């Protein structure tokens, strides 16, 4: 990326983040569902499992509901003409995408901090270092989910985007093992879930929350999320470059 | 300032929106681009502003080749689309400042430039108003401010006064005339023949994707016909088909 494109990415990130922080209700909306799970499902889970297993699952759920549905924002910008207006400037189109995507990742971090804080109040005892290391995965995951969400939003019919995405999120959540570890699943379902990148990221986060900072699971999770993000960004950038986007 | 030779666009769907347009606009002119609905006006304008890649022909816009150097064109031209590009929810002044900075202006220079353009368009004091809270005429002037904030040599206006009340239209006309006095070349589409007559030095009529006629308003009105009659003679259609004859 050129210096100009980095500057443009920062400008778009700064601008969109200022807007996100101003709309505090919007910031909370995506976090409401995982918080319900934490408060109304967590205590049941805690009778046979531990909070360090559940909370990373809720973080993945949050990622899917927050960054995963970021495409709603781009539909808004597209409809109001903001996107086209910015596309006639000499700014790099990749920067117009990246600035927005980084804002979505930043928003996801704020929401995750809220969720983890609430979880500590309920009984989570993960080491701080583990939580911080997991945050790195959250940022990368947020970038990839938002980029894919934008690609889907700009490709699908605008009236299809909402039903398709809100539905797609459900199997992605279940297959990641967000609510119950996949080790409890029958063989075929367990095998199916291995295809999901979210499962690998989630298991890495569980290890980090358990205080295991470096093992094969963490390494796999990290590798999967990095590859997944690279692929997502390429897809997002291609869609953003397309002339009718 | 603007020259095209056989500029055409056939979409992937097979629709031949523009068949081959030859245009010439001199520096300092206000040229009106007229045609019935679906004649290819907006597609032509979107090609000239680098939003669409032509499928045939060539063009030089603001001194740069459209096919080989679109980014240099973006730096030098402004484009105000038919539907505008105001964000309904965020302060119009902030959007404008970001827009100026995407053209490479540092923040202090962008601020100064925004203040200058807003003063020129009589919008001073509305910086912190969100787009949705502005009146129709104010929104349209903000749209034009986006097109002007980087001081372009050539400004494209797509249907600048559609949907405005007569007073706002007259107000906008005076702003467009003032642009020419400042040395900016203006290329605009319009649905209103009185607007073309009052504002434009020259009129180009496009029909079925090719230029059907061009000349000064008085040339087109030769023989004592009105501009409406001239338009009907040339295209066989009334300019505003939605208005019953």
Chain B positions touching A4 (Cβ under 8 A) are: 104
Q: Please state the three-class secondary structure of A163-194 as a single string.
A: HHHHHHHHHHHHHHCCCCCHHHCCHHHHHHHC
Nearest-by-Cβ selection for B49 from A8, A86, A88: A88
* pLDDT, mean of residues B63-83: 94
pLDDT for residue A24: 84
Mean of pLDDT over chain B = 91
CA distance B65 to chain A (A): 15
Q: Which residues of B touch A (CB under 8 A)?
A: 49-53, 71-72, 74-75, 77-79, 81, 83-90, 94-95, 98-99, 101-104, 131, 146, 150
State ipTM: 0.90
Cβ distance of B86 and A80 shorter than 8 Å = yes
CB-based burial of residue B127 (10 Å sphere; 0-12 exposed, 13-18 middle, 19+ buried)?
middle
Q: Measuring CA to CA, which residue among A62, A70, A65 is closest to residue A109?
A: A62
Cβ distance of B103 and A88 shorter than 8 Å = no
Chain A positions touching B87 (Cβ under 8 A) are: 77, 80, 82
Alpha-carbon distance of A131 to A208, in angstroms, equals 7
* CATH architecture entry for B2-85+152-235: 3-Layer(aba) Sandwich (3.40)
* Confidence band of A167 (pLDDT split at 50, 70, 90): very high
Cβ distance of B53 and A12 shorter than 8 Å = no
Question: B188: part of which helix (H) or strand (E)?
Answer: strand B185-189
pLDDT for residue A243: 67
CB pairs under 8 A between A and B: 65
CA distance A23 to chain B (A): 10
Domain that holds residue A60: 3-241
pTM score = 0.91
Cβ distance of B51 and A15 shorter than 8 Å = no
pLDDT for residue B7: 95
Question: In this model, does residue B27 exceed pLDDT 70?
Answer: yes
Which residue in chain B has the smallest CA separation from A11?
Answer: B98
- For B186-203, write each residue's pLDDT tens digit: 999 988 888 899 999 999
Question: In this model, does residue B243 exceed pLDDT 60?
Answer: no
pLDDT for residue A244: 59
Chain B positions touching A82 (Cβ under 8 A) are: 85-87, 95
- For B100-110, write each residue's pLDDT tens digit: 999 999 999 99
Q: Please state the three-class secondary structure of B56-74 as a single string.
A: EEEEEECCEECCCCHHHHH
* Confidence band of B244 (pLDDT split at 50, 70, 90): very low
* pLDDT, mean of residues B57-74: 95
Note whether B94 and B85 are within 8 A (CB): no
Cβ distance of A19 and B90 shorter than 8 Å = yes
pLDDT for residue A245: 47
Pick among B98, B140, B148 to test the A interface (most A CBs inside 10 A): B98
Cβ distance of A15 and B104 shorter than 8 Å = no
* pLDDT, mean of residues B163-176: 89
Alpha-carbon distance of A43 to A121, in angstroms, equals 12
* Confidence band of A26 (pLDDT split at 50, 70, 90): confident
* CA B140 to chain CA mean position, Å: 12
Nearest-by-Cβ selection for A11 from B51, B89, B101: B101
pLDDT for residue B235: 82
* Confidence band of B52 (pLDDT split at 50, 70, 90): very high
Helix, strand, coil shares of chain A as percentages rounded to 5?
Answer: 85, 0, 15
- For A73-127, write each residue's pLDDT tens digit: 999 999 999 999 999 999 999 999 999 999 999 999 999 999 999 999 999 999 9
Q: What are the structural domain ranges in chain B?
A: 2-85+152-235
pLDDT for residue B241: 53
Q: How many domains does chain A have?
A: 1
Pick among A8, A85, A93 to test the B interface (most B CBs inside 10 A): A85
In the beta sheet, which residues pair with residue B30?
Answer: B186
* CA A226 to chain CA mean position, Å: 13
Chain A positions touching B146 (Cβ under 8 A) are: 85
More confident residue, B241 or B77: B77
């Amino acid at each position: 990326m050129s210096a100009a494109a980095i500057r443009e990415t920062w400008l778009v990130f700064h601008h969109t983040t200022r807007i996100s922080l101003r709309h505090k209700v919007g910031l909370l909306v995506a976090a409401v569902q995982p918080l319900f799970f934490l408060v109304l499902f967590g205590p049941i889970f805690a009778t046979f499992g531990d909070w360090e297993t559940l909370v990373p699952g809720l973080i993945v759920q949050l990622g899917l509901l927050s960054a995963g549905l970021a495409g709603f924002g781009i539909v808004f910008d597209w409809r109001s003409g903001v996107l086209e207006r910015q596309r006639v400037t000499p700014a790099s189109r990749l920067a117009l995408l990246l600035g927005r995507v980084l804002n979505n990742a930043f928003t996801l971090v704020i929401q995750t901090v809220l969720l983890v804080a609430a979880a500590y109040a309920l009984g989570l005892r993960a080491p701080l270092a583990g939580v911080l290391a997991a945050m790195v995965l959250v940022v990368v995951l947020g970038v990839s989910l938002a980029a894919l969400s934008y690609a889907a939003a700009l490709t699908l019919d605008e009236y299809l985007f909402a039903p398709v995405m809100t539905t797609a999120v459900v199997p992605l959540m279940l297959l990641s093992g967000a609510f119950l570890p996949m080790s409890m699943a029958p063989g075929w379902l367990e095998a199916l879930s291995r295809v999901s990148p979210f499962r690998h990221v989630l298991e890495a986060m569980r290890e980090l929350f358990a205080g295991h900072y470096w093992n094969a699971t963490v390494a796999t999770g990290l590798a999967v999320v990095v590859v997944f993000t690279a692929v997502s960004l390429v897809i997002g950038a291609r869609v953003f470059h397309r002339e009718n986007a | 300032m603007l020259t095209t030779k056989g500029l055409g666009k056939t979409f992937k769907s097979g629709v031949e929106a523009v068949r081959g347009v030859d245009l010439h606009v001199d520096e300092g002119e206000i040229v009106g681009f007229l045609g019935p609905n679906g004649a290819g006006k907006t597609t032509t304008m979107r090609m000239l502003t680098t939003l669409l890649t032509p499928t045939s022909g060539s063009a030089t816009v603001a001194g740069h080749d459209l096919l080989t150097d679109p980014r240099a064109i973006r730096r030098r031209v402004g484009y105000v689309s038919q539907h505008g590009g105001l964000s309904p929810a965020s302060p119009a002044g902030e959007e404008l400042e970001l827009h100026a900075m995407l053209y490479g202006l540092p923040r202090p220079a962008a601020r100064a430039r925004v203040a200058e353009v807003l003063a020129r368009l009589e919008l001073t004091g509305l910086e912190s108003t969100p787009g949705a809270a502005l009146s129709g005429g104010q929104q349209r002037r903000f749209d034009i401010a986006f097109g002007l904030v980087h001081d372009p040599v050539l400004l494209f206006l797509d249907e600048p006064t559609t949907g405005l009340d007569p007073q706002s239209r007259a107000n906008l006309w005076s702003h467009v005339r003032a642009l020419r006095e400042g040395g900016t070349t203006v290329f605009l589409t319009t649905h209103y023949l009185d607007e073309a007559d009052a504002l434009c030095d020259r009129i180009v009529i496009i029909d079925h994707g090719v230029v059907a006629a061009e000349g000064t308003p008085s040339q087109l009105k030769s023989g004592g016909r009105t501009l409406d009659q001239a338009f009907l003679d040339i295209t066989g259609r009334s300019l505003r088909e939605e208005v019953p004859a």
